[in-house]
Structure 1
């Protein structure tokens, strides 16, 4: 794929993410909760855009970043525990909770491909068991860090409904463990399914491993 073609795809992804972000910011369920939920994605996107000319990821990595950003923007707009489609699924299948957060954490496992790319390009690691192990460990560490941030937010004095919505445990005392497990499983599946495609794109898009 020519560089101009890749740039057009990357620009399209950015426009889609920007459109969803604008929609997300219009009358969210709670502006404070919205800010807490979307800020990691916004900061990440700013860093990726600023570094675009110096460190350009594969299109696969940009697609993954776009998907994850959209997931966070949708969750921030409605609040994760109240996303309409998953409320419908909850009612239709008589589930005990809205599972959008579980779905989101599972998809966050896709970020393992982005981590894989950074390690392949910026360290001496090569493809193999050690790369797989370190990527999985990093992915799980990020998931754990996010849960710690949520816990710290819950300790804010007079946080009230905002911190409760941000935590989104929905009464499940094992919510933190479930979230980390979903991310772990998502990372393993992502590496299993997309590693070969990722390798081809690294070569096809002219990126040295």
Structure 2
């Protein structure tokens, strides 16, 4: 059943996300790059908030959504290739690039749990191999769509500085493939780690629809 405690947790997550969003908007490295990076998260959050009373996710799904939004807001503020902590990691371990974008795509695999919840609640699909395969495929499709959007922005802007920062390949011709691989790995790990917890929360928090 839905409880006031769950609603308070959801509100807390929203306030944290709003606070990070406000911080990210204060003197970002580039306002145009910031706009490109945070827009998908903002649009998604608006849709989720608008649908809250009609379709309420489990707390696990909201935690994942909050994490992904924060990842995008931090990347938008600094530019993914220049996030300070990952610059330090790059220097400390003598790496060739800042890996914040790889980290972000790995975590974007967590979104597979949100997709899993939508399919379990809104389609005849049940738990099993088909659900696993379909949600992983959906996660990869979303990752591919994002890569296409990045490419289109680069083409439309004719390779401007903001589009280069948004694309963020850092000289790696296989950047898109690496991003997709990270998303795939993150999706598979998320399903193995969180599916049982997700099932318990679905039974505990969600009123039968």
TM-score using structure 1 length: 0.98
Structure 1 vs Structure 2 CA RMSD: 1.1
User: What is the aligned length?
Assistant: 209
Structure 2 residue runs of 5 or longer lacking an equivalent are none
Secondary structure (helix, strand or coil) at the match of 1:155 reads helix
Residue 196 of structure 1 corresponds to which residue in structure 2? Answer: 196
Aligned residue runs from structure 1 range 76-155, under 5 A: 76-155=76-155
Does the CA-based 8 Å contact 2:58-2:206 persist in structure 1? Answer: no
Does the CA-based 8 Å contact 2:58-2:205 persist in structure 1? Answer: yes
- Does residue 205 in structure 1 map to residue 205 in structure 2? yes
Does the CA-based 8 Å contact 1:24-1:74 persist in structure 2? Answer: yes
CA distance in 2, matches of 1:2, 1:192: 26
CA distance in 2, matches of 1:158, 1:24: 26
Report the CA distance between 1:204 and its aligned residue: 1.0
- Does residue 42 in structure 1 map to residue 42 in structure 2? yes
Report the CA distance between 1:157 and its aligned residue: 3.8
Aligned residue runs from structure 1 range 6-45, under 5 A: 6-45=6-45
Does the CA-based 8 Å contact 2:2-2:206 persist in structure 1? Answer: no
CA distance in 1, matches of 2:108, 2:19: 21
Residue 171 of structure 1 corresponds to which residue in structure 2? Answer: 171
TM-score using structure 2 length: 0.98
Structure 1 residue runs of 5 or longer lacking an equivalent are none
Show structure 1 runs of 4+ deviating over 3 A: 206-209
CA distance in 2, matches of 1:87, 1:160: 23
